[in-house]
Structure 1
Amino acid sequence: MTALEEDLRRSVRGEVDFSPSVRAVYATDSSNYRQVPLGVVLPLDEDDVVAALRVCARHDAPVVARGAGTSLAGQAVNVAVVLDTSRHMTRILEVDPVAATARVQPGVVLDDLRRAAEVHGLTFGPDPATHAWCTLGGMIGNGSCGTHALFAGKTVDNVDRLRVATYAGDVLDVGSYTDEEYAAAAAAGGPLAPVLGGLREIARRYEPLVRQRFPDIPRRVSGFNLDELLPDKGFSVARALVGTESTCVVVTEATVRLSHSPAHRRLVVLGYPDIFAAADAVPALLEHPLLGLEGFDDTLVRQMRENDVNVAHLPLLPPGRGWLLAELGGDSADEADAASEAFVAALPADLERRCYADSMDQRRVWLIRESGLGATAIRPDGTHNAEGWEDAAVAPERLGAYLRGVSALWRDFGYSGAWYGHFGQGCVHTRNDFDLHTVEGLRRYRAYVERAADLVVSLGGSLSGEHGDGQARGELLERMYGPELVDAFRQFKAVFDPRGRMNPGKVVDAYPLDTNLRFGPGYEKRPAGKQFFSIGSTLQEAAERCVGVGRCRRDDTGTMCPSFRATRDERHSTRGRAKLLVEMFQGEVTPQTWRNEDVREALDLCLSCKGCVSDCPTHVDMATYKAEFLAHYYEKRLRPRQMYALGLFPWAARLGSRMPRLANAVLATRLARRAAGVTIARPAPQFSQRSWRSSLPAVWRDPTVVVWPDTFTDAFAPETGRDLVAVLEALGERVAVPTQWACCARPLYDTGMLDLARRSLRGLLDVLEPWTSRGIPVVVPEPSCLSSFRDELPKLLPDDPRAARLADLARSPAEHLLTLEGLPTLSSAAVVHPHCHASAGGWSGADRELLQRMGATAEVLDAGCCGLAGSFGFSADHEPVSRQIGEEHWLPRVRAALGDDDVLVADGFSCRTQLDHLAGPPAVTLPTLVRRALGG
């Protein structure tokens, strides 16, 4: 491996990384499987891909290419060199609106292509649930489909040409071939000629079997596309390579077809007595010109509630226990309305239905359907449901029979699951409570899968309808195709990869489906040891919540994950950090110790923004995991000086607010900041000449509400506190503001000083006890402090009833103001940038509701994390990344959302500070805006 790594470094211009941390995070995808790679190469371009392949061939090293790493059948992991094209090979090379095609590199994210095509009224039709982060190369490798394959076809139907590199390092530009084109290519010689000759011979020899045994259904994805080599399909080598899962070639460029995208959509949601009745109704519904026809059952809805995934959208569903989502459209609103009305008119009169024309309502309903990937992953006890039989497809007219047959198998084996997926094409997904951890559990799992495979074959279906074969279904292909066609697949692979080094053990000559398991019988559960946080499980089990969905790689919306957006490094994604933690407890790739440097380095750029708590479909809480790990890592050790300077800053601020001129003078000196490890690239925050506490008036003896004077509002922005008190009093409240100092300990969590955080929180509870014991609400102006009250406080002090009581009584300014009468009128338009912790905690919507109730037009931004994240951006080590996040990702979205007369509202002290430091637009806090409306 050392020689291989050195040779790759000499030959490849992109990154080459064989470190334990990188090998650990690439050891798993989104499937049940785990195989530790030899190393990872991030090529810059096609030349780099070719160079890497030639080096690997010299060393006889296997290779696997991957995109976003979200594969569900194990095809994106192997004991091989991983070629990850998602960091650099991300260019959309051309969009041709006349030909309705696009040329893309393999690392292009699907939604990026769709946005570029939408300008011309076009789209790339196939759209898996991971559309916001999956790559075109991965889609081509897997043969992906998605919701709108119903009208636009599968990926294979939308590929015209491919540029591919073989293991030998040859670059082939392949498409479809007429007899004349074939003859010309053969006569030209070169590496393409023998490939075309070999493929044509396979097509000639196996044509009768292909026509006989390839299921004629909308979603046959299993096996290789030998049917595309037949004369009536145009001998398309490009389409034959779609779905080969990196077992034959590496795609370096693709020319894909674009579909017309109806500008106006309508969604009709149908409710049925059960999922079987919904399936039975599909054939009749397909008589209409539908863009999509998706479905799910009441088990999915129950699991959404259990895992708190998109629960707020569930009231949009009509009554029922099984639902179908029928999408129709047109180029005008009238056309879309007409299509929807004709569809509804043909429905049975007694069928429950709801029709949605509003795009936001439609999006909310689609989010229910997209919840399947995350909501079904975790059981109420924290253990996993698993893939393994989640992707079969049958003809739509046989879907009811298939669902009933598999449900009968569940009863036989004692399994359960939820149904969700592409009902219009007969491909329905599920996750089941398989026992993959014990030998007996695996025996039962294998028996179940074999019987399910036989059921699908008996119905004329396909083992895979979208996710591919990989390792999960590769060994079952003979049951579907017979040994002769499986041998034809073997010969097809050998044409491109005669040495068998491209993704070996997947699809062809596959590893047994019950080996290489991520959480198999060999997986070790470690004793819990000391647990600082009460997180409902051990840290190991908490990290296992990550199932690799990959939403933390999303660029377009949401808070998660700002450090990945800046670095494009898988180790600095929420998923990568969770995987590293899991690997740490195993000790195979990275050391099994709390002093693990790989984990510490990966967590170092975690901003503790808590975006993953809400954005991650399985609610991975990396901020808490980071705090827990650092508490162990630094136990009985000195921390770096900046951790003390920033972690203990509230105590320093308490002192500084008493002598603000001296404190500001000290903070202004570069020498002092350098000595503390604090950045000199930013100005230090300036202490107010008079803190909030020092100017408090007499306190009401019988208050109706308490306002908490948090450190940052007290010392640096006292006007916000005064404005909040003034607003509450103007609306009839009697306000108490504690004068005794205490801290929510927010900076201590980020540095893992959890014992000190506990002591600080007990002091906080003591201060607030006179009011909280009487049930008086506590309004907290700073969002990060409110988050501490609601989240970290009860986790760190689970046995103190005062902690739960304060968590229940704590409110944001907007939440409390919504309970009051007499709100003023606000005529201006407001754009709210919520603090990350407000987004994660789910209370940012109260800001919008309050402003709308006051008469303002209000928009809550989805611009992501500002990048400052409290103490993070003031660390000298982190300041460049903090600035990059703010300048490249956050601030452009904030500016784009603001109209000329819009008011920007930002309650977070960090957010406003980042705006100041990056010369962003001015912002006000919500209390200040309301006070202005009151005329204050």
Structure 2
Amino acid sequence: MKNPGKSSGAWRALQQALQARLGSAVRFDEAHRAAYASDASNYRQVPIGVVVPSSIEDFVAALAICREHGAPVLMRGGGTSMNGQTVNTAVVFDFSVYCNRVLAIDPAAGNAVVEPGVVCDRLRDAAQAYGLTFAPDPSTHSRCTLGGMIANNSCGAHSVMAGKTLENVEALEVLTYDGERFWVGPTTEQELADIIAAGGRRGQIYAALKNLADRYADLIRAKFPGIKRRVSGYNLDQLLPENGFNVARALVGTEGTCALTLQARVRLVNNPARRVVLVLGFPDIYVAADAVPEYQRLRPIAIEGLDRAIIRGLQARGLVQEEIDLLPAGDAWVMLEFGADTIEQAVAQAEAASRYFEQRPQGPHPSRWMAVEPAMQARIWSIRENGASATQLSIDPHEPDMQVGWEDAAVDPRRLGDYLRAFQALVDRYGYRTSLFGHFGDGCVHARLTFNLRSAQGVLDFRRFIREAAQLVVDHGGSLSGEHGDGQAKAEFLPIMFGAELVGAMREFKHIWDPQNRLNPRKVVDAYSVDENLRAGPTYKVVDIGTRLNFRSAEGNGFQRAVERCIGIGRCRNTQGNTMCPSYRATREERFSTRGRARLLWEMLQGDVVADGWNSKSVKESLDTCLSCKACRSDCPTHTDMASYKAEFLSHYYENHRRPRQALAMGRIGDWAPWAARLPRLANVFTQTPGLAHLCRLAGGIAQDRRLPRFAHKSFRRMWTPDRQPGSSRGRVMLWVDTFCEHFHPEIAQAAAEVLGHAGFEVLLPSTPLCCGRPLYDFGYLDAARQKLRQLLETLDAQLAGDGAPTALIGLEPGCMSVFKDELLKFFPDDARARSLSESAWMLGDFLHAQGYVPPALAVDVLVHAHCHQKSLFGSKGEMALLQAMGARATLLDSGCCGMAGSFGMSTRHAAMSRAVGELELMPALRRAPEDTVVLTNGFSCREQIRDGTGREAVHLAQLLKRAHDESA
């Protein structure tokens, strides 16, 4: 932790003073400093410490303490910046955890008052109740905060409808580093005179701002490009008389370098109730860009462009092919969104646009496809929002990864096609590759390039390229940044855009507000150079580290390469929809998010902030709260696989540390349960008798308020007799009966066997009892897990080979079946037996649906909660199709994780968090459901959590299908 003129002792004094006032909100430990050292940019700066204020007033008090100690300060929201403005050697204040309220909505005035930590989508959800919305919506709208959007002057796809954040800010309550607190906004001449006459720090600021505006007015008018997407630099033009001396809008886009936002009053606009997307396919991105004036005349509410590079990258990785197939023919696409009060009006607008391009007088006639259904539109937008992140890592070991750094320049939209041609020529001259996409309606283009930042020469080329690219943008009447701000990535080159004199005026503007240069110093003005503080620059340590799991992917091999998958976009910080990341949703702790854990692992490998390697207690504590739900493996666009990273880390950590008691009780359940099941009544005496059960829970590290599972009186193998269904058999299948169905709920396996028989299949079991070892991964028992899988392969290989062998392995427990799709291939990536077994593994519902099975009718209401591993690796399409075929009124809940997650929720350490996760979505949804509604979930742990949380008994799909057969008999 380095800062000019300050010793570590001085910062310890600062930490102590902050803790005396704010207590546990102050986090100067290595875990927090590591988690906040990076954002989504190329840059890394380790903070002095992190503070998570519980209120605005606590922040005001904390800032006063920082001022007493001369500490620099950085406000941070979602931490998704791509230009480096949300990292600094400063005290980082995270407002997203507690200072995140929508304070008021005034539908008549069309505005809202918010705290800086409120997430964009939460404001939009609140405004939707009044038919209104906050228009700016960057692709990170599900996790970026309003404070960050104001600091960045964020935009998004719908800026053609209502402008940037700047045009949607009415007033700000700000705090200066020296402690002055006041509201700012547009200022009449009389108000300005009164403020100056009143004196004090506020009067001094306003007088200096007026003097600045008077002196530079003509230069500002001459040099500021007249485009909607000018985001670079400070908004000095807002101080001009024609803009109403709007101090609030002058502060928008200053990236926390001038004043700190405490509250904001923002504009809300009419939210078109119905939307339709028209997708146009062009032969290349350049002719698609040439047509921007034509798109604008059609008055869509969004105009988004996308070239072939991202599509090819997704296809090379085998991703979202179904969504790609929706695109019309072409090599570049433009998405035009139309909005209206009724779907008929929106469709009419889109159809008129389609007819225009069908009969276009000049230029190519693009192919066309219209998306009317909201779900279909969401699939199309997902390509645009997630494609670049999903393809950022290179699949060619000889080519650098795609990098941000020249990410979001904007030019005059009328010149976009010419600019893109010239830009591509520049890219080609440097030997880079790029992908082009962005907000074509405003001339803003996102371009990620294969900069080589790992070598000194590569960094020199990077610098030269940025300088030439900046000049090219200026030559086309543009702005170096059209959305993401300047931060460190663009700031050095602002003189190319504005000239030295205006950059000097911006320096003066900052000095008026922050004369001590303590607010996010050296960003925007007097900035670090573009090649300082590189996160993975020439000094980046490449670590060849031995692992038990095989981390092999299209993007490269090894644990470090796997950790590099996380590029910081923060999708794991979503708090609604999908599943990732349950521990973050319950705690709002950055270090308990997928991104935070990836950052800690990255720092562990570098050995700077986190220096203890596999023995790091900071990494262990962060991973300890990971539910191993595997949601990040599918929900994250980069497919960061934290469950595997956790298992690998724990396998090394426990080489030198004792495992918890729960590791034997729950991690080894597959070993001891068969023995206990030989005397089930005796086992149940210990686990179900109150006093003895208390001792069992104590010995096993299990929370006392958790119910221990009851052993069945007879295990499935002891009660099952093969019964070939009469009539013509459709073949043989092998039923994989997991530990939980074998010893605790054999009725589920029995139901599955009967249903498979009704479907015409002969059911076999493995020749000897086997265990996939699923619980072992939660405690790092990877050597034991590997041995179980080796035994499994050797046993099943002979049984699954030859004539008449089972054609499929049908499983019931999603957690166990996920081993066949995931960990089996990580242990034995080159074993043909493992690949064959993985390909033959099915969940019961998916297999029956694929075989065309139609169950008997059963008209019931069903709420379906999908186990996390099922969502991640299998999905619920087959299951939902079966329910529909039987006539059930089934609803698949968007319920996230139940919170139990195998043995996670049983632990004394995790029981509270487990319940908190369940209460986010699932438990409230089930309590709202009528009593006669069937609750269906295939996960043993999910059913246990539902029983504990609501008292309802959930059923397995096999049981519901059997019920349908029984009632139809």
List per-residue Cα deviations over 1:885-930 (Å, max 9, x = no partner). 112343224555x567643321111111110010154422111112
**2:841 is matched with which residue: 793, 810, 823?**
810
Which secondary structure state, in structure 1, belongs to the residue aligned with residue 614 of structure 2? coil
**2:772 is matched with which residue: 744, 750, 758?**
744
**2:750 is matched with which residue: 722, 732, 739?**
722
List per-residue Cα deviations over 1:677-715 (Å, max 9, x = no partner). 111111111111121111110376996111111101111
Partner of 1:508: 525
Structure 2: gaps (5+ residues):
1-10, 360-364
**1:838 is matched with which residue: 870, 884, 889?**
870
Matched, 1:219 2:229: yes
1:852 and 1:779, CA in 2 relative to 1: closer, same or farther beyond 3 A? same
**1:491 is matched with which residue: 488, 491, 508?**
508
- Distance of 1:754 and 1:429 partners within structure 2: 42
- Distance of 2:682 and 2:550 partners within structure 1: 38
- Distance of 1:456 and 1:806 partners within structure 2: 54
Matched, 1:661 2:676: no
**2:882 is matched with which residue: 841, 847, 850?**
850
- Report deviation, 1:8: 1.3
- Distance of 2:89 and 2:852 partners within structure 1: 65
Matched, 1:860 2:892: yes
Matched, 1:757 2:801: no
- Report deviation, 1:45: 2.1
Within 5 Å, give how 1:307-386 maps onto structure 2: 307-349=317-359, 350-381=365-396, 384-386=401-403
1:120 and 1:809, CA in 2 relative to 1: closer, same or farther beyond 3 A? same
Partner of 2:587: 567
Asked if the contact 1:50/1:170 (under 8 Å) is kept, the reply is no
- Distance of 1:266 and 1:331 partners within structure 2: 12
Aligned-CA RMSD value: 1.7
Matched, 1:710 2:738: yes
1:12 and 1:189, CA in 2 relative to 1: closer, same or farther beyond 3 A? farther
Matched, 1:392 2:409: yes
- Distance of 2:264 and 2:569 partners within structure 1: 25
List per-residue Cα deviations over 1:567-613 (Å, max 9, x = no partner). 11111000000000010111111114211111001000011000000
Which secondary structure state, in structure 1, belongs to the residue aligned with residue 609 of structure 2? coil
Asked if the contact 2:391/2:638 (under 8 Å) is kept, the reply is no
**2:570 is matched with which residue: 545, 550, 558?**
550
Structure 1: gaps (5+ residues):
none
Letter matched to residue 22 of structure 2: V
Partner of 1:881: 913
Deviates more, 1:883-892 or 1:149-158: 883-892
List per-residue Cα deviations over 1:834-878 (Å, max 9, x = no partner). 110011104322212232344444432221110000011111111
Letter matched to residue 478 of structure 2: G
List per-residue Cα deviations over 1:237-261 (Å, max 9, x = no partner). 0011000001111111100000100
Partner of 1:606: 626
- Distance of 2:32 and 2:472 partners within structure 1: 41
Which secondary structure state, in structure 2, belongs to the residue aligned with residue 130 of structure 1? coil
- Distance of 1:787 and 1:200 partners within structure 2: 65
Partner of 1:908: 939
1:794 and 1:860, CA in 2 relative to 1: closer, same or farther beyond 3 A? same
1:721 and 1:507, CA in 2 relative to 1: closer, same or farther beyond 3 A? same
Letter matched to residue 733 of structure 1: F
Which secondary structure state, in structure 1, belongs to the residue aligned with residue 950 of structure 2? coil
Matched, 1:159 2:169: yes
- Distance of 2:338 and 2:847 partners within structure 1: 42
**1:684 is matched with which residue: 693, 703, 708?**
708
Letter matched to residue 556 of structure 1: Q
List per-residue Cα deviations over 1:187-216 (Å, max 9, x = no partner). 333321111111111111111011001010
1:431 and 1:826, CA in 2 relative to 1: closer, same or farther beyond 3 A? farther
Matched, 1:693 2:703: no
Asked if the contact 2:96/2:118 (under 8 Å) is kept, the reply is yes
Within 5 Å, give how 1:139-178 maps onto structure 2: 139-178=149-188
Partner of 2:434: 417
Asked if the contact 2:627/2:904 (under 8 Å) is kept, the reply is yes
- Distance of 2:963 and 2:549 partners within structure 1: 44
Deviates more, 1:871-880 or 1:20-29: 871-880
Which secondary structure state, in structure 2, belongs to the residue aligned with residue 584 of structure 1? helix
- Report deviation, 1:171: 1.0
Which secondary structure state, in structure 2, belongs to the residue aligned with residue 253 of structure 1? strand
Partner of 2:798: 770
Deviates more, 1:116-125 or 1:671-680: 671-680
- Report deviation, 1:729: 0.6
Matched, 1:652 2:672: yes
Deviates more, 1:794-803 or 1:849-858: 849-858
- Distance of 2:667 and 2:539 partners within structure 1: 40
Partner of 1:137: 147
- Distance of 1:751 and 1:535 partners within structure 2: 22
- Report deviation, 1:183: 1.8
Which secondary structure state, in structure 2, belongs to the residue aligned with residue 286 of structure 1? helix
Matched, 1:106 2:116: yes
- Report deviation, 1:357: 1.3
- Report deviation, 1:309: 4.3
**2:815 is matched with which residue: 775, 778, 784?**
784
**2:84 is matched with which residue: 74, 83, 86?**
74
Asked if the contact 1:376/1:431 (under 8 Å) is kept, the reply is no
**2:649 is matched with which residue: 629, 648, 655?**
629
- Distance of 2:453 and 2:172 partners within structure 1: 38
Matched, 1:521 2:538: yes
**1:733 is matched with which residue: 761, 769, 773?**
761
Q: What is the TM-score when the length of structure 1 is the normalising length?
A: 0.98
Partner of 1:441: 458
Letter matched to residue 891 of structure 1: M
- Distance of 2:563 and 2:264 partners within structure 1: 37
- Distance of 1:180 and 1:780 partners within structure 2: 76
**1:404 is matched with which residue: 411, 417, 421?**
421
Partner of 2:71: 61
Which secondary structure state, in structure 2, belongs to the residue aligned with residue 629 of structure 1? helix
- Report deviation, 1:556: 0.5
Which secondary structure state, in structure 1, belongs to the residue aligned with residue 262 of structure 2? strand
Partner of 2:468: 451
Which secondary structure state, in structure 1, belongs to the residue aligned with residue 305 of structure 2? strand
Asked if the contact 1:307/1:378 (under 8 Å) is kept, the reply is no
Asked if the contact 1:586/1:592 (under 8 Å) is kept, the reply is no
- Distance of 2:23 and 2:220 partners within structure 1: 43
Deviates more, 1:739-748 or 1:723-732: 739-748
Aligned residues: 935
**1:49 is matched with which residue: 41, 59, 65?**
59
- Distance of 1:253 and 1:659 partners within structure 2: 65
Matched, 1:675 2:699: yes
- Distance of 1:395 and 1:126 partners within structure 2: 20
List per-residue Cα deviations over 1:473-528 (Å, max 9, x = no partner). 00000000000110011011011100111111110001000110000011111122
Which secondary structure state, in structure 2, belongs to the residue aligned with residue 590 of structure 1? coil
**2:851 is matched with which residue: 820, 842, 846?**
820
